Amino acid sequence: MNEKYSCGTGKERYILRIEKDTMGEVELPDNVYYGAQTKRAVENFPISGISLPRRFIRAQGVVKLAAARANGALGLLDKKILKAVEKAALEVMNGTHDEHFVVDVYQAGAGTSQNMNANEVIANRAIDILRGEKGDYKRIHPNDHVNMAQSTNDTIPTSIYISAYEGLKEDLLPALKNLKSVLSSKARSFDNIVKAGRTHLQDAVPIRLGQEFGGYAEAIQQDINRISRASSALLYLPVGGNAVGTGINAGPGFRQSVIREIRKITGVNFRSCKNHFEGIQNVNPALEASSSLRGVAVTLIKISNDIRLLSSGPRTGFAEIILPPVQPGSSIMPGKVNPVMAEMLNMVCFQVIGNDTAIAYATQASQLELNVMMPLIAYNLLFSIQILANGVTAFTLKCLQGVKADADKCRIFADTTLAMATALNPVTGYSYAAEISKEAYRTGKTVKQVVIEKGVLDKKEADRILSPLKLTGK
């Protein structure tokens, strides 16, 4: 039984318990489930005040539950202990004890403190379930029972892959698919609206607004495909490799059994990685997933920047589309409305690119048998998934769904673009068409007006050859 004593007076009175680890005694509030190693980590790493997110903690619960069941099936874990650890791990999965996961993201290398945080919370909660006293590790031990046949080195990357895969599947991919659907819908509704194309931000040949939005929709679909391909690498888990890949201290068949249990718990077809030495040396599936997020961020930056340009004005810009107003745009200029949802999405994407850079540096920092930068990788990858999913959802609902086209403004630009002269190349040749374009610019006339006035084409021919709609391929 652990030593306990009261501190404080009156309403400030509280109970402390003393736990022992391999380095000595540690005082802990008796109402917390974490133990001595977690407390040391809290004291050693007062860095950001940020802990790893809910999805990661859930994944840790999945791994601990699966390992307990695998060890139980091998006859290595007492049935009474197994039942208590199972219940505690399920509670961790469901978020019941999130407030007891207190280790900072910037912590001991590889995530030893994070792994022990989970081991201690589950052990103490399991002791509680058996009506024991927290810290009585003779009954259930964080290392000997909860961490049986495991290591930080295989459970942390496994938790990264499980949490990232579920985040992509359940949050980000649905958000992107909805964005693509709305873009496709806008492409159909804008299909008859002709406007001026622009390259180098200068006049180009006509394009339909629907074609422009259709391009955005296809770009998002390509990113969905890339993320789906990258996420398949997350299905291969190094759990069972233990400290360096040899599976030391694990029972025969543990590696296969723990994977089967993870599949049952998650409903996802996770598999054992092909080479556990490589799987623990490197965290490349996380890098691959992050790279796909960087790709979608680049696509979204382009789309959000275009939305800002196309809606610029309303009097002095392009003003070809009209965005739904969601909030006042200025604290000094009355009536001003800004493209705030597109601006928000830009900021999200800039952050994702920064996160990917951090992940790339952390991934290449692997040395010999282990990558010790995994907590940073876990946090940045899951943060990117979260903010991308939320940012895309907000942008789609609050901006894109309500976008309208100014068909008259688009038509004016289509009629007056100097690049209409491109259609004259087969008739007059490139050089003379360039002269016509320059004269139209000097005189403020349209290309069509110039060619009719010069007698290059009669009105009927000019209407046929210089039809903006026809030039878009319709």
Q: What are the catalytic residues?
A: 200, 330
Rounded distance, CA 171 to CA 159, Å?
Answer: 17
Q: Which of 98, 115, 107, 106 is nearest to 154 (CA)?
A: 115
Name the maximum alpha-carbon separation found in the chain. Answer: 105
**DSSP string over 194-251:** EEEEEETTEEEEEEEHHHHHHHHHHHHHHHHHHHHHHHGGGGEE-TT-TTTSS-TTPP
Rounded distance, CA 263 to CA 70, Å?
Answer: 12
Rounded distance, CA 388 to CA 164, Å?
Answer: 13
Rounded distance, CA 52 to CA 118, Å?
Answer: 12
Q: How many CA atoms lie within 13 A of 301 on its CB side?
A: 14
Rounded distance, CA 414 to CA 409, Å?
Answer: 9
Give the sign of the dihedral formed by CA 334, CA 335, CA 340, CA 342. Answer: negative
Any idea what DSSP says for residue 51? B
Cβ(365)–Cβ(239) below 8 Å: no
- The amino acid sitting at 346 is N
CA distances from 45 to 25, 50, 98, 260, 435 (A): 19, 11, 19, 36, 70
**Helix (H/G/I), strand (E/B), else coil: 106:** coil
What sections of 311-458 are H helices per DSSP?
Answer: 340-364, 374-398, 407-416, 425-428, 430-443, 447-453
Any idea what DSSP says for residue 323? P
